[in-house]
Structure 1
Amino acid sequence: MEAIKAEFVITGGARRDQDKIMTIMKQAWTITRQDLRNNPYVLLWTLLFTMYLGFTISFVVSIELGKSGALNPAADFVMLVLTPFLGFIYNHRTFKYLQEDSYTHMLAFLRTLPILVSAVIMSRIQQAILAFVGNSVVFFMLLFTLSGTLRVYAGPGFFISFALTWIGYGMLIQALYIYLEFLRRGKAYFWLSLVIMVICGMISVIVRIYGANLVSITAVFIKEWQLLSPVMWGALAMGSLAILVSYRITLRRLVRRDLA
């Protein structure tokens, strides 16, 4: 954190003359870069957790879409709950948010620096994008490799479209997590995260009651349309829009938030 402060003090004067958008992006990237540097094991922890998610979901999906054709809602539930987690970089702050209210403390420190509030939020979005790109490669490779049922739809077009569809959904829910990180304390963040999981469970059960399954429907529909799938493009559009809306609302409310 001190490294961030030193860098902003040195370069703050020159950046005031730059375009505002470029200033936001550069300041955000400074925060992102220093955050990664200050957590030397962050990539290892993130890789291990992503591999855990990939192993877990691949076996559940294999059971779900197996020869028995059972419509157990387990696959829908784990995909709905865990896919948004691909947008996290797993460091000390992520694991200690409940015990230490680490997000609030981080915001209180960053507020003392000569940086724009919008840059702080943009840094979180940058980290989410980096996480989705890196984590999704590992996650979906494991999912397609270990889940024999998904391999029957073999083809790069299907794999890419299936992954991007669920990434779009993950971005949608990640937008909610970004909002909660910046505007709620650790305990409230925890309980509201549980509410999101309960809602995902309810959706899974409702879909099951109607004799359907989101994972299988996604796979069958994408098999037909491949990279032209309106489901994929719709999911990505909704996810991107949700991130933008989350950014705007969070920015407006974070300026007025009391971090004491």
Structure 2
Amino acid sequence: MVNQAFWLVKKELKTNWTALLLTVLVVIFLGLFATIFLEQAARALFGQEVMYYNNPVLDILFVALLPSLSTIFMSGPYLSFQTIKDDPYTKRMAFIRTLPIPVKIVALSRTCLMLLILLLMSIAFFGAIVYKLPSDFYQFVSAKELIIFIFAWFGYSLALGGMNPFIEYGTSGKVLHLVPLFWIGLMMGLFVGFHSIVGYSIVEWSLLLISQYGWIVAVVSIIFGGIGSAFWHKLLTRRLAKRDYM
């Protein structure tokens, strides 16, 4: 069962290796960009001086964008509005469903592909951050706390990452392009509401939690990430079994 799922995963990666490489490069750039605001957040929270910076950008780079690390978002379907009409993911899944492969294996292959992409993109994103962070950063956030921070946000990505294969293969091309608009609106409302209630941005709050509770934050996040991933996999399996591809 697992061998069949990974056979499909290898076929998918072989077909999209150019888009995968381009996505990695974009993710590295985003990681380098995020470093600037993460370092400023550490200074603002734990430094002596009062510092003002654009903390909504930091939330956008982590809260809004990290779930996208589970998909090859620089591939054609994401970059072209023609996807709304052509619906390439549905056509691809319709072809796969004609093969003598059980739906459970097909769904497992989508989840395994998501996990592999998420792991690769997370290494690229957080690796760029660790590489670019100045040594002064560790005056405010220790290396241990940074590692906890990375695991905590990876857990968040894991919890929501399974949403992407569900949207790609369980819905239509129209939904694929409408969801980002809905997501942007939802995130903007979340950022404003959270800051007005808590007094910090979401990323700032996560740094404060880590400074107080340490590894507990990462463990809880990874647990919820595993639960979320299993939830989306089950939802995708049910959807693929019931979906009409005609």
TM-score bin (small chain): 0.7 to 0.9
Q: Which residue of 2 aligns with 1:192?
A: 179
Query: Cα–Cα, structure 1 residues 197 and 39, in superposed 2: closer, same or farther, change >3 Å?
Result: same
Provide the rounded CA distance (Å) in 2 between the counterparts of 1:202 and 1:64: 21
Given candidates 152, 155, 176, the residue that maps to 2:163 is: 176
Q: Which residue of 2 aligns with 1:12?
A: none
Given candidates 58, 61, 74, the residue that maps to 2:35 is: 58
Contact 1:73 1:208 (C-alpha < 8 Å) held by counterparts: no
- Residue type of the alignment partner of 1:84: P
Deviations along 1:161-195, one digit per CA (max 9) or x if unpaired, are 11111111112221222221222101112212321
Query: Cα–Cα, structure 1 residues 94 and 59, in superposed 2: closer, same or farther, change >3 Å?
Result: farther
1:136 counterpart SS class: helix
Kindly state the Cα deviation for residue 236 of structure 1 after the two structures are TM-superposed. 1.1
Q: Which residue of 2 aligns with 1:76?
A: 59
Q: How is 1:101-120 mapped onto 2 (pairs within 5 angstroms)?
A: 101-120=87-106
Q: How is 1:129-144 mapped onto 2 (pairs within 5 angstroms)?
A: 129-144=115-130
Number of paired residues?
234
Query: Cα–Cα, structure 1 residues 88 and 117, in superposed 2: closer, same or farther, change >3 Å?
Result: same
Given candidates 86, 89, 108, the residue that maps to 2:69 is: 86
- Residue type of the alignment partner of 1:83: L
Contact 2:68 2:164 (C-alpha < 8 Å) held by counterparts: no
Kindly state the Cα deviation for residue 79 of structure 1 after the two structures are TM-superposed. 1.0
Kindly state the Cα deviation for residue 42 of structure 1 after the two structures are TM-superposed. 4.0
Provide the rounded CA distance (Å) in 1 between the counterparts of 2:58 and 2:74: 27
Contact 1:84 1:167 (C-alpha < 8 Å) held by counterparts: no
- Residue type of the alignment partner of 2:101: I
Kindly state the Cα deviation for residue 48 of structure 1 after the two structures are TM-superposed. 0.8
State the identity as a percent: 24
1:41 counterpart SS class: helix
Could you tell me which runs of 5 or more consecutive residues in structure 1 were left unpaired when the two chains were aligned.
1-22
1:45 equivalenced with 2:22 (yes/no): yes
Query: Cα–Cα, structure 1 residues 203 and 69, in superposed 2: closer, same or farther, change >3 Å?
Result: farther
Q: How is 1:151-230 mapped onto 2 (pairs within 5 angstroms)?
A: 151=138, 152-155=140-143, 157-210=144-197, 211-226=199-214, 229-230=215-216
Provide the rounded CA distance (Å) in 2 between the counterparts of 1:40 and 1:136: 17
Dislocated runs of 4+, deviation >6 Å: none
1:73 counterpart SS class: helix
TM-score using structure 1 length: 0.80
TM-score using structure 2 length: 0.84
Query: Cα–Cα, structure 1 residues 174 and 212, in superposed 2: closer, same or farther, change >3 Å?
Result: same
1:95 equivalenced with 2:72 (yes/no): no
Provide the rounded CA distance (Å) in 1 between the counterparts of 2:202 and 2:73: 28
